[in-house]
Amino acid sequence: MSSMAPRVLILGGTSEARALAAELVTHGVPVVSSLAGRVSAPRLPEGEVRIGGFGGADGLADWLTRHGIIAVVDATHPFAQRISASAAAGTARAGVPLLRLHRPGWQESPGDRWHWVDTLDDAAAVLPRLGTRVFLTSGRQGLAAFAGLRDLWFLARCVDPPTPPLPPRLEVVLSRGPYHVEEETALLREHRIDVLVTKDSGGSMTEAKLIAARRLGLPVVVIRRPARPAVPTVTEVATAVDWTLGWVTES
C-alpha cells in the first residue's frame, strides 16, 4: 500500500488502539493515531501520532476533510464519553465511515462482592458503609468526588500526580499497568485495604486487582459505563483491521 499522508484515523489512548495501529502499519496502511494529551508521557503507538483535541464534532469533521481521511476507528476508553460523541457526530458530518472498537466490560465471578453504581459521586456515597481503607483506581481526574470523605483513608493509583481537591487522608502511587495478581494481592495486604473502587474499564491490563479482591474477600465498588452513541461496533482488534483494510482497498 502507498506511503502517502495518513488516511485512516484512530482515536486512541488505549492498548487496543496501539495494537490496531501496529497491525495497520504492518499492513502498510497510512494511519494516524490521535491522543488527547492528558498524560505527560503517553505510550506512543506505531505510525504517525497527533496530540490534542479537535474542537468538538465540528472541529473533528473539518480535520477529517482537510486531511482526506477515508475511515475512522474510535478505539478510545469506554469512559471517554465526549470524544466518542464527537466521533459519531463529526464523522456523520464529514461523510466518513466510523467503527467503534469497544472492549467488553468485566464480568462478575462467584466470590465477587461487587456494588454497581452509576457515577463517581455514587461511589463516594456508598463507600462509608463498605470500608475505611480504600484503594481508588478510578483515575486521577475523578479524585475530587472523594474529597469530602474525611474519615476514610485512600490509596489512589494514577499515571500522573493528581491535583486538588483531594481527600485529606490520601497516599498516591504513580504507575500504569499491566498489573499482576500476586503484586495486587500484596499491595492490598500491605495497605490493609478493605474496599476497592474501579470503573468498569474491562480488559486484561488492569483486571488483576479484581481477582486479588476476590481472593481476599473484599468488596468492590464498580462504576458502570456511560451510555454510548449507537455506531457499528466490534470488540476484536482483528475485526477492526479487516474493516479498515476493506475501506483502504475500496478507496
In angstroms and rounded to an integer, the radius of gyration of the C-alpha atoms of the chain is 20
Scan residues 48-77 and list those touching ligand NAP (CB under 6 A).
53-56, 59-60, 76-77
Q: Rank residues 79 and 243 by Cβ distance to ligand NAP and give the closer one.
A: 79
**Least Å distance between CB 144 and ligand NAP?**
14
Contacts of 119 (CB under 8 A, 6+ apart): 145, 223
Q: Which stretch binds ligand NAP (CB under 6 A): 5-13, 24-32, 170-178, 227-235?
A: 5-13
Q: Does 35 bind ligand NAP (CB under 6 A)?
A: yes
Q: What is the CB neighbour count within 10 angstroms for residue 58?
A: 14
- Selection from 56, 57, 76 nearest residue 11 by Cα: 76
Scan residues 124-183 and list those touching ligand NAP (CB under 6 A).
139
218, 115 Cβ separation under 8 angstroms = no
Q: Which residue has the cell 500500500?
A: 1
Scan residues 86-115 and list those touching ligand NAP (CB under 6 A).
86
Cell numbers linked to 227? 451510555
Q: Does 198 bind ligand NAP (CB under 6 A)?
A: no
Q: Rank residues 216 and 226 by Cβ distance to ligand NAP and give the closer one.
A: 226
Helices (H), 120-173: 120-126
Q: Rank residues 101 and 187 by Cβ distance to ligand NAP and give the closer one.
A: 101
Q: What is the CB neighbour count within 10 angstroms for residue 187?
A: 19
Residue from 32, 61, 72, 80 in contact with ligand NAP (CB under 6 A): 80
* Angle (CA) 23 24 28, round 5°: 120
**Least Å distance between CB 57 and ligand NAP?**
8
Residue from 22, 38, 122, 176 in contact with ligand NAP (CB under 6 A): 38
Q: Rank residues 83 and 194 by Cβ distance to ligand NAP and give the closer one.
A: 83
Q: Rank residues 36 and 126 by Cβ distance to ligand NAP and give the closer one.
A: 36
Query: What are the respective helix, strand and coil percentages of the chain, to the nearest 5?
Result: 35, 20, 45
Which residues in this chain contact ligand NAP in the complex, by CB under 6 A? 11-14, 34-36, 38, 53-56, 59-60, 76-77, 79-83, 86, 139, 199
